[in-house]
Amino acid sequence: MRPRAVVLAAAWAVLALAGCYTLGAPAPREARLFVEVVDADGIDPDLGAAVAVALRQAVAARPELSLVARSEAEATLRLGLQGGTTGLSPLADPTRRAPEYRVVLRAEATLAGEGVAAWQSGALVGEATYASDVRSIGALDGARRRALERAAEELARRVVGALLYTRTPR
């Protein structure tokens, strides 16, 4: 047998055995969560809704988590929006035709419920930049709204990542 054929046969055997082991392993149980977003500061009228949608989508996208109604939930994932800023990026030149702006959202998440260890994240941040012509207020507001949505999506990804990979009893 040629050396290449031996290596390919060995690799095929390893992959086959790995597949058998994986198929025989019990599937992990998914956590059933209810998601709640609290915008105590009233930063932006649409911000709480944008963050809630992004967080629900991020939770639903993970196979380890299941998004359910409050009555069916094992735990509640609560995201408290603590603040947000929108303004020129630190090194932006406001005299340019389309200066760069930045949206920053700050929040903290908690997980509480029966049968699930209490968890609290540290400060989490979602941010996005956008460029817009300051002479066109309509374009500026539209670009800002899209940036808020992108920042909300980034914040939601960070919340779910922190929940899945840093969950330790409090």
Domains of the chain: 30-165 (3.30.160.150)
Name the percent of the chain lying above pLDDT 90. 13
Joined tokens for residue 162: 């922190």
pLDDT of residue 153: 94
Nearest 5°: phi and psi at 163?
-65, -45
What is the Cα–Cα distance from 19 to 21, expressed in whole angstroms? Answer: 5
pLDDT tens track for 20-33: 433 444 445 678 88
Burial bucket for residue 132 (CB in 10 Å: 0-12, 13-18, 19+): buried
Three-state DSSP at 151 gives helix
Give the whole-angstrom CA distance, residue 125 versus residue 51.
12
DSSP bridge pairs for 138: none
Bigger pLDDT: 133 or 62?
A: 62
Question: Tens of pLDDT along 39-80?
Answer: 766 666 678 888 899 999 999 999 888 889 988 888 888 888
Q: Is 111 exposed, middle or buried (0-12, 13-18, 19+ CB in 10 A)?
A: buried
Element (H, E) at 152: helix 137-165
